[in-house]
Amino acid sequence: DIVMTQSPDSLAVSLGERATVNCRSSQSVLYRSNSKNCLAWYQQKAGQPPKLLIYWASTRESGVPDRFSGSGSGTDFTLTISSLQAEDVAVYYCQQYYTDPRSFGQGTKVEIK
């Protein structure tokens, strides 16, 4: 099974500043047939289901603000919020969809400093 590990568990960032969340997989999630990484990022606000932000490690889902970006390849990935807004307070999860079980990271709580 692929284990997903996020860091940090929580972070507090000032409004307008950059927030960075890291995710590491225990083995590569690069799908060689299309050279894409099977890695997604989700945002979960309190009392709501998760919302897909990023897929293929770096492609934004339709309607997601461009302050959200994803990067990385192989086993190391990053979600960056370039200018934190109040509405971005949430828990963020990475997930690999390379193989079953479709494991999630433990989550990173992003708050306003």
Note whether 99 binds another protein by CB under 8 A.
yes
Residue 101 CB, nearest approach to another protein (Å):
5
Binding mask 27-46 for another protein (x = CB under 8 A): ----x-xx-x-x-x-x-x--
Of residues 16 and 63, the one with the C-beta less far from another protein: 63
Q: Which CB sits closer to another protein, 29 or 84? A: 29
Of 38, 46, 56, residue with least CA distance to 107: 46
Q: CB of 38: closest distance to another protein in angstroms?
A: 6
Rg of the chain, C-alpha, whole Å: 13
Q: Which long-range contacts (CB under 8 A, 24 or more apart) does 82-86 make?
A: 82/18, 83/16, 83/17, 83/18, 84/13, 84/14, 84/15, 84/16, 84/17, 84/18, 84/19, 84/110, 84/112, 85/15, 86/15, 86/112
Quote the least distance from Cβ 44 to another protein, whole Å. Answer: 8
By CB under 8 A, name the binding residues for another protein.
31, 33-34, 36, 38, 40, 42, 44, 48-52, 55, 61, 91, 93, 95, 97-107
